[in-house]
Structure 1
Amino acid sequence: MEVKLDTTLMLAVYIITFVTGLPANLLAFYAFIQKFRQKPTPIDILLLNLTISDLIFLIFLPFKMKEAADGLQWNLPKFLCPLSGFIFYTTIYNSTFFLMGVSVERYLGVAFPIKYKLHRRPLYAVIASVIFWLFSLSHISIVYIMEYHNSTDSTEHSKNSCYKDFNEEQLKILLPVRLELFVVLFCIPFLICVFCYVNFVRILCKLPHISPQRRRRAVGLSLGTLLVYVLCFGPYNVSHVVGYVYRKSPDWRHFALLLSTFNACLDPIIFYFSSSTVRKLLNNILKRMVGNLQLTCCYRYFYCQQWSCTGSEEVTQSSNETS
């Protein structure tokens, strides 16, 4: 009963993330591609890479849905197991790096506006993006190592599961790597984010010529990003530390991992606060929707009025003929 409840919850979270995250990220991707045809800024490049990472994650998410629907049994081709896990975990740490990059870009822009404007180059954001991708991919290669290292000792149950049950030899390698992920790929980016956004808001609020709307947007961006770190990435990465201390994965680890999946549908909210390109595109779409809705309502109103008038005339004419 407990396993069935867990799988039902997993499936629900995966479906919600897929249904909400896919259209939102596709919209953001379209906005950034349009911006690239003009003149992209460093923050556009960072957010585009984050969008691509989220989209790749969402494309592979149906495999996790199938796993949850089958009661956490992996009934798909075996090579898809490490591949889907590799994509799944890479997206988590891609997000921590690219959100950190956005926070650094924002902080430098207000702390050293003149110097940063003189040295601001999209090429630097491209180089940073390549480094972030390589760093995440190299660390998450542990998924493939665990899949094929000493797997002959696995039980029949673990052979039908995907990246869940490990023997003692595998844990000797996996647990220290997870601790490194916690320190290097979570704690350091998170502390940099906190430093940058606290000072970003502090400096921005002291500037006299900044409009209240921009201040609110800055606070929303900062709180939203830090909230994603704490809620989406915090519990999962804390499970690395708990697992290292107790020499086994905690029972609540899969619930923590579910919170990480919500990141794919929360990132577009950060895009809205971070990029004027996304805001303009979303505002234009909403205006078109409202305009179409108004046209539809006006058409129905005039149509109904005309129909009512015509119907009234027909009734009057019919009465006159009768009399």
Structure 2
Amino acid sequence: MAISSHDGVVLGIYILVFLTGLPANLLAFYTFQAKLRQTPTPIDILLFNLTVSDVILLLFLPFKMVEAASGMTWPLPEFLCPLTGFCYYSSIYISTLFLTAISVERYLGVAYPIKYKLNRRPIYAVIASGCFWVLACSHCSIVYIVEYQVQGPNDTHIEDTISKCYENFSQKQLSILLPVRLELCVTLFCLPFLVCLFCYVNLVRILASLPNIQARRKQRAVGLAVATLLNFAICFAPYNISHIVGFIQNKSPPWRVYALLLSTLNASLDPAIFYFSSTAIQQTLGDLFAGINRKLQAFMPWCYPLCVPCCEPEGDNGTEKSSISNMGGLPSERFERGR
């Protein structure tokens, strides 16, 4: 079956996200679960949950690939349609919540370093993580409600919904779905984004006012804040804007599928945030590249002089394996190492 150019674009992006995102997220998953077994910190718990959310999306992404390869029809067993949609959409909003929680954790660690250190407990992050999962999953259960409860046996859209997964809706379905989407936009995107924006703007302002922090480290912290906000705005904003447009027009906008593609890209972009946020990830990557370096030295000695500058840590004594991992400008990071 030949697929259209539109379906080819969708399939190509799904494949790109799967091939780039799955290895990076599995590496992050392995690193964070090992870290949680040793000395768990709130930021590690939040990053671990964000990783789990991305892995769930990526594991269900092959079903979306099959759908795109079949001309956006659903050739798989019918029960997989709402299950895939539920996991897919839940992962999107779980990511926004955990990105916001991470921004709050960073802000508190810089704005109130001593007070935050004294009151910081991993159990608080565990409780917050559980609330985030319940909040996002309960909202996205609308997928099952629309598929099975609203649609009646005589609904004229039954044949369409069998061939199209969560795409063609009757007016009765839209009367419930569109207001819920608007509420999702306000509750799980707009409010978290405003909190995230407040935290990072003030984080940058505080760091800029501290004279004892190196300019390079300030720039790295600013870059990390900008990268997170761009990830938030580029990956999630278009999809949530489609909720507002759909509510106004009383129908799903035709460009919604492309907005969803941007949300899918988040699974490939989050590992960059993991790297800048966690010294454990930096250590794991450093060990990985060091292992590759040793293998190259053993099997390809002629390549070793070319590979050393790229793979070796910056410092000889191990005190600065990465300019990022020594980001002492963040008080919370200093406390982390001090423990």
Fold match by TM threshold 0.5: yes
> Is residue 202 from structure 1 mapped to residue 205 from structure 2 by the alignment?
yes
In the TM superposition, residue 91 of structure 1 has moved relative to its aligned partner by: 0.5
- Provide TM-score, normalisation by structure 2: 0.86
In the TM superposition, residue 288 of structure 1 has moved relative to its aligned partner by: 2.0
Tell me, yes or no, if the aligned pair for 2:35 and 2:280 is still in contact at 8 Å.
Answer: yes
- The within-5 A match list for 1:1-323 is 4-148=4-148, 149-152=150-153, 153=155, 154-298=157-301
Q: How many residues align?
A: 300
Measure the CA separation in 1 of the matches of 2:204 and 2:40: 24
In the TM superposition, residue 213 of structure 1 has moved relative to its aligned partner by: 4.0
Q: Which residue of 2 aligns with 1:317?
A: none
Q: Which residue of 2 aligns with 1:318?
A: none
After superposing on structure 2, the runs of 4+ consecutive aligned residues of structure 1 that deviate more than 4 Å are none
Measure the CA separation in 2 of the matches of 1:56 and 1:300: 39
For 1:62, give the aligned amino acid. Answer: P
In the TM superposition, residue 151 of structure 1 has moved relative to its aligned partner by: 4.3
SS at match of 1:165: coil
Q: Which residue of 1 aligns with 2:336?
A: none
SS at match of 2:49: helix
For 1:168, give the aligned amino acid. Answer: Q
Q: Could you list the per-position Cα deviations for residues 204-229 of structure 1 after superposition, in whole angstroms to 9, with x for gaps in the alignment?
A: 12222223343233112211111111
Tell me, yes or no, if the aligned pair for 2:146 and 2:177 is still in contact at 8 Å.
Answer: yes
Q: Could you list the per-position Cα deviations for residues 254-308 of structure 1 after superposition, in whole angstroms to 9, with x for gaps in the alignment?
A: 011011000001000000111111111112211221232233222799xxxxxxx
Measure the CA separation in 2 of the matches of 1:3 and 1:190: 37
For 1:163, give the aligned amino acid. Answer: Y
Evaluate the alpha carbon distance shift between residue 38 and residue 249 of structure 1 in structure 2; reply closer, same or farther with a 3 A threshold: same
Q: Could you list the per-position Cα deviations for residues 128-162 of structure 1 after superposition, in whole angstroms to 9, with x for gaps in the alignment?
A: 00000000000000000010112431152332110
For 2:254, give the aligned amino acid. Answer: D
Measure the CA separation in 1 of the matches of 2:45 and 2:220: 20
Q: Which residue of 2 aligns with 1:312?
A: none
Tell me, yes or no, if the aligned pair for 1:25 and 1:55 is still in contact at 8 Å.
Answer: yes
Measure the CA separation in 2 of the matches of 1:114 and 1:6: 54
Measure the CA separation in 2 of the matches of 1:7 and 1:39: 46
Tell me, yes or no, if the aligned pair for 1:94 and 1:132 is still in contact at 8 Å.
Answer: yes
Of all paired residues, the percent bearing the same amino acid is: 59
Q: CA RMSD in A?
A: 1.6
Measure the CA separation in 2 of the matches of 1:203 and 1:13: 39
Measure the CA separation in 2 of the matches of 1:195 and 1:55: 28
- Provide TM-score, normalisation by structure 1: 0.90
In the TM superposition, residue 37 of structure 1 has moved relative to its aligned partner by: 2.2
SS at match of 1:6: helix
Tell me, yes or no, if the aligned pair for 2:297 and 2:303 is still in contact at 8 Å.
Answer: no
Tell me, yes or no, if the aligned pair for 1:220 and 1:273 is still in contact at 8 Å.
Answer: no
For 2:151, give the aligned amino acid. Answer: N
Q: Could you list the per-position Cα deviations for residues 140-199 of structure 1 after superposition, in whole angstroms to 9, with x for gaps in the alignment?
A: 000000101124311523321100000011000000001001100000000000000111
In the TM superposition, residue 3 of structure 1 has moved relative to its aligned partner by: 7.2
Q: Could you list the per-position Cα deviations for residues 225-247 of structure 1 after superposition, in whole angstroms to 9, with x for gaps in the alignment?
A: 11111110010000000000000
Evaluate the alpha carbon distance shift between residue 205 and residue 296 of structure 1 in structure 2; reply closer, same or farther with a 3 A threshold: farther
Measure the CA separation in 2 of the matches of 1:300 and 1:78: 53
